[in-house]
């Protein structure tokens, strides 16, 4: 019976356990998108994860949507990330970079020359972002032209190449949570009348072309994709989610990716309906390689998901923020630190690298 603490392979990469660290935006990079000096410590502290997936990292200046988030498009950003990777590898960890373009979830003050955000269609989100002025409503976007779509896809390839230069073990493509790729996927945010809009086949085209661009740089087994069927964050919804996401998963299956990362509703805040459960089960059955789930999992739910075959690995978010040694705590049924929500986004050491390590502080627990 598979457990969280069994090893797992993604292509030729062997991971020590199935406790993955989910991508977690922390807003601690500089205004130039360079990862802060504390980031190397933060990620190294969490290197006992089977796999670390970094915070979402913008692929270009137009991909930025929040204050003080990191990028992967300048030499300085690549160098800063290389230090993070070195610190994780030095203690035996594995780390993937999450590639990100926010699309319409941005504000003009965050973008070059105060320009408008871009999106599949000029539909403003009922959502907010973080700027130097605090939380503000996102700006109205404009629709990408076909030429700009091609340039954005090229930006993903360049970012993927930069991630390889920085020494990452692989990359995850962020196609969830209401950001650009998700905006192309879902019917309420994509009203295009060209080859990127309309039916599910067209709406998944941008996702597939982005993945193909990344595969021009990385072996497919070192690439994952994150999706969020039924996600409502950032003002998202889809008229026919089963049709959309089964099409997306079938298309991605043809590309031989290392894993699929599915965001489910967190049961602490939302009740998963029978319809949603049915689709998640279908996606699991359709997917041909490693299947990773996320969504407020605790130890009991995670172990059940693995032992039943519903998932191959589980990613944890808030628990990893507060518990740098989470896999050890879970394996020994140790106490869990409570995350300080006030320090999630921005700041310094506090709530970032100062959470106690249970084993280091109490070696007798081993």
Dihedral (Cα; 32, 37, 41, 44), 10-degree rounding: 50
Q: How confident is the model at residue 361 (pLDDT cuts 50, 70, 90)?
A: low
Q: Are 206 and 252 in contact (CB under 8 A)?
A: no
Q: How confident is the model at residue 142 (pLDDT cuts 50, 70, 90)?
A: very high
**Whether residue 364 has pLDDT greater than 70:** no
Catalytic-labelled residue, pool 42, 66, 73, 179: 179
Domains of the chain: 8-365 (3.20.20.70)
**Whether residue 272 has pLDDT greater than 80:** yes
Average pLDDT of the chain is 96
| pLDDT, average across residues 340-354 | 97
Per-residue pLDDT of 289-328, as tens digits, reads: 999 999 999 999 999 999 999 999 999 999 999 999 999 9
**Whether residue 143 has pLDDT greater than 90:** yes
Q: How confident is the model at residue 214 (pLDDT cuts 50, 70, 90)?
A: very high
304-312: list long-range contacts, CB under 8 Å, 24+ apart: 306/2, 306/3, 306/4, 306/18, 307/1, 307/2, 307/3, 309/2, 310/281, 310/284, 311/284, 312/2, 312/8, 312/18, 312/259
Q: What is the pTM of this model?
A: 0.97
Q: How confident is the model at residue 366 (pLDDT cuts 50, 70, 90)?
A: low
Q: How confident is the model at residue 360 (pLDDT cuts 50, 70, 90)?
A: confident
d(CA 81, CA 43): 11
| pLDDT, average across residues 72-95 | 98
Q: Are 156 and 216 in contact (CB under 8 A)?
A: no
179 counts as catalytic: yes
301 Cβ neighbours under 8 A, 6+ residues apart: none
Element (H, E) at 208: helix 205-215
d(CA 6, CA 317): 20
Q: How confident is the model at residue 1 (pLDDT cuts 50, 70, 90)?
A: confident
Q: What is the pLDDT of residue 362?
A: 65
What are the angstrom distances between the C-alpha of 279 and each of 29, 125, 243, 269, 304? Answer: 37, 26, 10, 20, 18
Q: 8-22, 192-206, 263-277: which has the minimum mean pLDDT? A: 263-277
| pLDDT, average across residues 143-148 | 98
Q: What is the pLDDT of residue 65?
A: 98
Q: What percent of the chain has pLDDT over 70?
A: 98
Q: What is the pLDDT of residue 271?
A: 87
| pLDDT, average across residues 161-180 | 98
Dihedral (Cα; 354, 330, 263, 36), 10-degree rounding: 20
Q: What is the pLDDT of residue 127?
A: 97
């Amino acid at each position: 019976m598979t457990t969280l603490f069994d090893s797992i392979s993604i292509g030729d990469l062997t991971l020590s356990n199935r406790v993955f660290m989910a991508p977690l935006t922390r807003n601690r990079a500089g205004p130039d998108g360079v990862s802060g000096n504390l980031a190397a410590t933060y990620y190294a502290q969490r290197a006992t994860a089977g796999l670390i997936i970094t915070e979402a990292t913008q692929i270009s200046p137009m991909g930025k949507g929040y204050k003080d988030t990191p990028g992967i498009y300048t030499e300085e950003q690549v160098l800063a990330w290389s230090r993070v990777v070195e610190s994780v590898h030095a203690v035996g960890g594995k780390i993937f970079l999450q590639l990100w373009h926010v699309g319409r979830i941005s504000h003009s003050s965050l973008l070059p020359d105060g320009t408008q955000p871009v999106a599949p269609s000029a539909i403003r989100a009922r959502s907010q972002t973080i700027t130097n002025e605090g939380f503000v409503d996102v700006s109205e976007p404009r629709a990408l032209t076909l030429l700009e779509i091609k340039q954005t896809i090229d930006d993903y390839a360049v970012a993927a190449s930069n991630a390889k230069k920085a020494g990452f073990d692989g990359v995850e493509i962020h196609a969830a949570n209401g950001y650009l790729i998700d905006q192309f996927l879902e019917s309420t945010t994509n009203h295009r009348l060209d080859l990127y809009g309309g039916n599910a086949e067209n709406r998944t085209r941008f996702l597939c072309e982005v993945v193909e661009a990344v595969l021009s740089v990385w072996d497919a087994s070192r690439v994952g994709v994150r999706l969020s069927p039924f996600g409502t964050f950032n003002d998202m919804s889809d008229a026919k989610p089963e049709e959309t996401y089964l099409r997306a998963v079938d298309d991605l299956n043809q590309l031989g990716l290392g894993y699929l990362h599915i965001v489910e509703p967190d049961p602490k805040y939302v009740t998963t309906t029978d319809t949603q459960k049915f689709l998640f089960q279908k996606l699991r059955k359709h997917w041909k390689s490693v299947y990773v789930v996320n969504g407020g999992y605790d130890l009991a739910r995670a172990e059940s998901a693995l032992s039943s075959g519903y998932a191959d690995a589980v990613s944890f978010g808030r628990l990893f923020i507060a518990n740098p040694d989470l896999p050890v705590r879970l394996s020994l049924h140790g106490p869990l630190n409570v995350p300080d929500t006030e320090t999630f986004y921005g700041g310094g050491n506090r709530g970032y690298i100062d959470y106690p390590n249970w084993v280091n502080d109490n070696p007798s627990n081993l």
